[in-house]
Chain A
Amino acid sequence: MQRQGFIDRLKAIVGDDYVIAHPEDLLVYEYDGSVDRAMPRAVVLPASAGEVSRTLALAYQEGVPVVGRGSGTGLSGGALAPPGGIQIAFTRMNRILEVDTENRTATIEPGVINLDLDNHVRKFGMRYAPDPSSQKACSLGGNIAENAGGPHCLAYGATTNHVLALEVALEDGTMVNLGGPAREVPGYDLRGVFVGSEGTFGIATQITVRLLPLPETVKTFLGIFPDIESACSAVSAVIGHGIVPAALEMIDALSIRAVQQVTDAGYPEDAGAVLLIELEGLWEEVDEVSREVESALWETGAGEVRVAEEDRERERLWLGRKTAFGAFGAIAPNYYLVDGVVPRTRLSQVLRKVSEVSEKYGIIIANVFHAGDGNLHPCMLFDGREPGVTERAMAGAAELMEYCVAVGGTLSGEHGIGLEKKQFMPLVFTDADLAVMRRTRDAFAPANRLNPGKIFPDDDGFYQIVPQPTPPPGDTGMYV
């Protein structure tokens, strides 16, 4: 009855309605956007930092591990419950507390949705730059945990470059403020190392981010290419011209078809690949650079170049890009996203490897990615119900990750290591490297009660992942 007592004590902190503990209800908290699932022991939905702190203190005392959960859109299993652990879901802590137009900052609760913040501050002529594809759904708290990226990170940097201050609850419920309203804060950069720590250092309960002024001019290009090779050379040509656009995205033929099937984003369905390029800045800059971009696109074999200057047209082009991962559901019921980053000049080489892997393992792979950053997203599409196919997909993904590392790249550019990629960490880091990272975590969370079992390959070997789905045998196969 000890256990029942624990749930009751959680209820005493946040209220009866805000602890979810019935196993049938917990079915909906066992997944995020990734392929794994893990059922929490309970989900707590606090309304304030104080409730978060008290929940953590209780869990700490009881030896129950905890993970924060925003909207559950992550692609690395970061928000999945640790064994026997509880989730603190931030969906109720979703207030925008303050927008400081003069200092260009916003202070928010962690459950605020990325796009809601951006839309809100646009009313004041500002923007929140990091724009993950899931920005319509993902929370800022989750963005902090994963150091989320997005297309516009090419010019403006990832989440870490935009976080000023964090109010954080540590594993035992102690509250600490990291950073501050000033851009520079002396001392060890605790706020900097906290961002991207995947929920293992602490749980942010309040966040102050930096905002940017809206650019004077925005211009979006859709470069239409006969094949992915020529699109890759266009990427090199643009960067080689000394141009770092606000965003530079590639969408391959398969992804174009997947997107167009559900959402008419205006991508030509017979194209081999399209590049989505956005330029921002003063009118003079955009004007000058856009000519160079256009000529780079033509020179590298673009069949057509479309320019969108009106908001509605641009939104349509971006809608396709931002719904691409979801659109893969229309092709196959499962996808595994490889998030490798490589030096930009290696893109075409790595994409050739992607086709090889696709052929070798018999797995369809779609590519839609942040070409300007060299952040690939080969998406392994498969039907987990076909015997052996999941293993083949994983083996293919492993080979791709190894290749990315071999050409000077790394495992993950923006989605995090979490559960999904932790076994690949030794490709990049030695035991000594990982030991230093552990030492850092131990300074924040000595008892390792926050999101244990993530990131480190040999941590908590008892962690068992359940891939989904595992439905009874039915008609299998792709839907296209």
Chain B
Amino acid sequence: MADSEIRAPAQLDAGGGAAPTPADVPLPWAEPAEPLNREPGFRGVDVPAEADLYRCVHCGLCLSSCPTYSTLRVETESPRGRIALMKAVHEGRAGISSRIVSHWEMCLQCRACEAVCPSGVPYGRIMEYSRAQVLAQGKQGGNLKRIDRLFLRAALPHPRRLRFGAHLLRLYQKSGLRRLVRASGLLKLLPASLAGMEAQLPELTGPFFGPRRPVYPAQNPPASPPADGATANRPTPTVGLLSGCVMPLMQGATMHAAVRVLTRNGCNVAVPPGQGCCGALNLHAGDLETARRLARRNIDTFLAAGAGKDGFKIITASAGCGSNMKEYGELLKNDPEYAEPARRFSALTVDITEFLAALPLTPPTGRVPRRVTYQDPCHLAHAQRITQPPRALLQSIPGLELVEMEASTMCCGGAGIYAMTQPELAGQILAAKLENINNTGAAQVVTANPGCMLQIEQGLNAAGGRHQVKHVVDLLDEAYGG
């Protein structure tokens, strides 16, 4: 094992004599003295931590949970493989080449591997830092680069631009302009990925939602009184609701439902102005700076609105946002001013299903006689490890039949902007999901994350019909009578 005995590196493509025998074949597997490529490696502070990387003992128990590995069956598209590539870069055996980047970008960042990892490798975190390195070195793949510029940076962080864009889009969809554009063949002039994005644009039919100064007042007192029976003196708790970026525009109805369900369960609901996008998509794309800026904005807004006082929790109906907000502490750990508030903010964040299931829930009385199946959002099941609360809420609805689909915790392929950056693979992953959904015979799919709702709905509708994927709170709201 002494280094001195290791032979010279071999070039894989170097010519060799005819019919080499094992003894005279050079040793491509030996530790190369030179790295495999000339690209730079990890630099700066936003790098995967060595302690995180070497928690991975390459046991392989993550493989079967990974949607890309399950679909493509190659180690390069597996969590273990991606970590091995990070290790190789970290060890200086390879630099961040576009080939290595392509494997990292193929990752959905669904974190299914993280949930099953026996060593507790914080996969989401090391992938985010790796993406940050990719971005810093300008190595993002074409699709991602375009979407990052056009959407993640130029639109998402700016609520007014988003709202304006949404109005335009609604106009585009409703006015018949779209039919015109589609018929005209103009789309063919766009790069395939953008044309695909056009096709994926959701129908903006519902009401919009947004932050506002007045608090939505509680409709009921809390369902069951505390043990001491001091109902009268018990203050009505106020909670803060994250409005977010796209969800209030695309799924405004769900946001309104969330407010109604919360107020019906005895909460005043604040949606403080000044808040905005949580920054999750920026973080996943490796744009830590934007993510941090957005995090600071939300921290300021919610703490100023009273988060932390008198049981004031920060609630989100978006699993992806919740997962990110619960990790603001990590994101801002090196920020002297925000490190502590970020940790506090993270500790106060709860998913709406988690929050409701922990309450003595006001029992829904309206019947929803429907067979539904529940899709576990990755960032709820894997990142936040919340799987039972949404099911418990659904099962509390009279008449509703919950049937489990096979592999309900497997990603649907939506994964934030993944369906746009990797349309082909996302399509394959979605197809597997749709098959599992169809096998249940359920009339409706329920989930708890806006991205999953869009992706699955689009998948179901592409196969024909007009399906509406619902959020858990939509069904609760329906059972409460809307």
Q: Do chains A and B touch in the complex (CB under 8 A)?
A: yes
Q: Select B94's contact among A24, A83, A471, beta carbons within 8 Å.
A: A24
Q: How many Å lie between the Cα of A475 and that of B85 in the bound state?
A: 20
Neighbouring A residues of B76 by C-beta, 8 Å? 20, 25, 28
B27 touches A62 (CB 8 A): no
Interface centre among A136, A259, A326 (most CB of B within 10 A): A326
Query: Which residues in chain A, 1-59, are within 8 Å of chain B measured between CB atoms?
Result: 1-4, 20-33, 37-41, 45
- Given A72-B60, A323-B61: A84 and B87 interface contact (C-beta under 8 Å): no
Asked if A137 and B63 sit within 8 Å, CB to CB, the answer is yes
Interface size class of chain A, counting residues whose CB lies under 8 Å from the partner chain:
35 or more
Which residues of chain A have C-beta atoms less than 8 A from B13's C-beta? 3-4
- Interchain CB contact under 8 A, A469 and B54: yes
Q: Does B352 contact A (CB under 8 A)?
A: no
- Given A83-B22, A83-B29, A465-B1, verify A138-B57 contact (CB < 8 Å): no
Q: Which residue of A lies closest to B72 (CB)?
A: A91
B14 at the interface (CB under 8 A from A): yes
Q: Does A472 contact B (CB under 8 A)?
A: yes
With a cutoff of 8 Å between Cβ atoms, the chain B residues found around residue A335 in the complex are 57
B21 within 8 A of A: yes
Assess the A325–B57 pair: CB atoms within 8 A: yes
Residue on B nearest A320 in the bound complex, by CB: B118
Residue B74 contacts which of A20, A27, A449 (CB distance < 8 angstroms)? A20
In whole Å, how far is A389's beta carbon from the nearest beta carbon of chain B?
13
Chain B residue, CB-CB nearest to A138: B60
The reply to whether A469 and B91 form a contact with Cβ atoms under 8 Å apart is yes
A residues near B54, Cβ cutoff 8 Å: 329, 333, 469, 471
Would you call A23 and B36 a contact (CB within 8 A)? yes
Scoring B15, B17, B50, B85 by chain A CB atoms within 10 A of each residue's CB, the highest score goes to: B50
Return the contact of B75 from the options A22, A28, A39, A136 (Cβ within 8 A): A28
Q: Counting CB contacts under 8 A, is B207 at the interface?
A: no
Q: Is A242 an interface residue (CB 8 A)?
A: no
* Contact B87 A469, beta carbon cutoff 8 Å: yes
Q: From B25, B26, B84, give the contact of A31 (CB < 8 A).
A: B84
Known: A2-B17, A38-B29, A262-B118. A82 touches B75 (CB 8 A): no
CB of B362 within 8 A of chain A? no
Judge whether B59 and A326 touch: CB under 8 Å.
yes
Contacts A28-B75, A85-B22, A466-B6 hold; do A474 and B60 have CB atoms under 8 A apart?
A: no
Asked if A251 is at the interface of the complex by the 8 Å CB criterion, the answer is: no
Are A471's CB and B87's CB within 8 A? Answer: yes
A3-B15 contact, Cβ under 8 Å, with A25-B99, A27-B88, A326-B59: yes
Cα of A335 to Cα of B56 in the assembled complex, Å: 11
Distance in angstroms between the alpha carbons of A113 and B62 in the assembled complex: 13
- Bound CA–CA A329/B23 (angstroms): 36
Collect the chain B residues with CB atoms within 8 Å of residue A328's CB: 57, 119
Docked-complex contact B31 and A466, CB < 8 angstroms:
yes
Residues from chain A with a CB closer than 8 A to the CB of B30 are 39, 464, 466
Whether the pair A23, B28 counts as a contact (CB closer than 8 A) is yes
Task: Say yes or no for B55: interface residue by CB 8 A criterion.
Answer: yes
Inter-chain contacts of A425 with B (CB < 8 A)? none
Which residue in chain A gives the minimum CB-CB distance to B23? A462
Cβ of B100 under 8 Å from chain A: yes
Q: Does B343 contact A (CB under 8 A)?
A: no
Main secondary structure, interface of A, reads loop
Closest CB in chain B relative to A201 CB, distance in Å: 17
Residues of chain B within 8 A (CB-CB) of A82 are 22
Nearest chain B CB to A296's CB is how many angstroms away?
30
A276: Cβ under 8 A from any B Cβ: no
| CB contact between B15 and one of A2, A111, A327 (< 8 Å): that residue | A2
Name the residue on B nearest A27 (C-beta).
Answer: B88
B64 touches A262 (CB 8 A): no
Contact of A24 (CB < 8 Å), options: B29, B37, B119 = B37
- Per-residue B-contact encoding for A242-285, CB less than 8 Å = 1, 0 else: 00000000000000000101110000000000000000000000
Are A24 and B36 in touch, CB under 8 angstroms?
yes
B228 at the interface (CB under 8 A from A): no
Point out the residues of chain A lying under 8 angstroms from B56, CB to CB: 329
Contact B27 A73, beta carbon cutoff 8 Å: no
We find that the number of chain B residues with CB closer than 8 angstroms to chain A is 64
Given A24-B100, A464-B6, A470-B31: A113 in contact with B64 (beta carbons within 8 A): yes
B117 within 8 A of A: yes
Interface positions of B from 99 to 128, Cβ below 8 Å from A: 99-100, 103, 116-121
Contact of A262 among B6, B31, B92, B117 (CB under 8 A): B117
Chain B 1-44 near chain A by CB (<8 Å), digits 1 or 0: 10001110000111111111111011111110000110000000
Given A33-B58, A470-B91: A45 touches B119 (CB 8 Å cut-off): no
Asked whether any CB of chain A lies closer than 8 Å to the CB of B73, the reply is yes
Q: Is the interface of B mostly helix, strand, loop or mixed?
A: loop
Which residues on A sit within 8 Å (CB–CB) of B22? Answer: 63, 65, 82-85, 449, 452, 460
B97's nearest neighbour on chain A, judged by CB, is A24
User: When the two chains form the complex, which single residue of A25, A326, A470 contacts B57, counting CB atoms closer than 8 Å?
Assistant: A326
Partner of B12, one of A23, A92, A116: A23
CA distance A452 to B73 in the complex (A): 26
- The answer on a CB contact under 8 Å between B25 and A83 is yes
Contact with B along A449-480 (1 / 0, CB 8 A): 10010000000101011110111101100010
A330 touches B55 (CB 8 A): yes
* Residue contact A81 to B29, C-beta cutoff 8 Å: yes
Q: How far is the CA of A63 from the CA of B18 in the complex (A)?
A: 9
> Residue B80 at the A interface, CB < 8 A?
yes
Task: Report B285-316 CB contacts with A as 1/0, cut-off 8 Å.
Answer: 00000000000000000000000000000000
A78 to B1, alpha carbons, bound, how many Å?
18
Closest to B6 in A: A464
CB-contacts of B40-54 with A (<8 A): 50-51, 54
Mask: chain A, 53-93; 1 = CB below 8 Å from B; 0 = not: 00000000111110000011100000011111100010110
Is the beta-carbon distance between B55 and A329 smaller than 8 angstroms? Answer: yes
A329 B57 Cβ-Cβ under 8 A: yes
- Bound Cα distance A334, B57 (Å): 7
- Contact between B64 and A27 (Cβ–Cβ < 8 Å)? no
- Nearest-neighbour CB distance to chain B for A331, whole angstroms, equals 9
Residues in A whose Cβ lies below 8 Å from that of B118: 259, 262-263, 323-327, 329
Q: Known: A2-B15, A39-B29, A45-B74. Is A472-B99 also a contact (CB below 8 A)?
A: no
A22 to B99, Cβ gap below 8 A? yes
Interface pair B117/A84, CB less than 8 Å apart? no
* Complex-state Cα separation, A337 to B55, whole angstroms: 16
Q: Are B1 and A467 in contact (CB under 8 A)?
A: yes
- Chain A residues with Cβ below 8 Å from B85 are 24, 27-28
Which of A20, A261, A334, A475 makes the CB contact (< 8 A) with B50? Answer: A475
Q: Is the CB of B75 within 8 A of A72?
A: yes
- In the complex, the answer to whether A27 meets B94 with C-beta atoms within 8 Å is yes
A residues near B139, Cβ cutoff 8 Å? none
Chain A hits for B75, CB < 8 A? 28-29, 72, 89, 91
The minimal Cβ–Cβ distance linking A302 to chain B, given in whole angstroms, is 26
Complex Cα distance, B76 from A25, in Å, reads 6
Contact A27 B36 (CB under 8 A): yes
Q: Which of A136, A464, A467 contacts B61 (CB 8 A)?
A: A136
CA distance in complex: A270, B303 (Å): 40
Query: Can you name the residue of chain B whose Cβ is closest to the Cβ of A477?
Result: B51
For chain B, residues 74 to 98, give those with C-beta under 8 angstroms from any C-beta of chain A.
74-76, 78, 80-81, 84-85, 87-88, 90-94, 97
Counting from the closest, the 4 A-B pairs by CB-CB distance are: A84-B25, A326-B118, A329-B119, A323-B118
A-B contacts besides A3-B15, A41-B29, 10 pairs, CB < 8 Å: A27-B85, A28-B78, A83-B25, A134-B59, A136-B64, A326-B57, A326-B117, A329-B55, A467-B1, A475-B51
Interfacial residues, chain A to chain B (CB-CB below 8 A) = 1-4, 20-33, 37-41, 45, 61-65, 71-73, 80-85, 89, 91-92, 94, 111, 113, 115-116, 134, 136-138, 259, 261-263, 323-330, 333-335, 390, 449, 452, 460, 462, 464-467, 469-472, 474-475, 479
**A-B pairs with beta carbons under 8 Å apart, 10 shown:** A1-B15, A28-B80, A41-B25, A62-B20, A71-B63, A94-B73, A329-B55, A330-B119, A452-B22, A471-B90
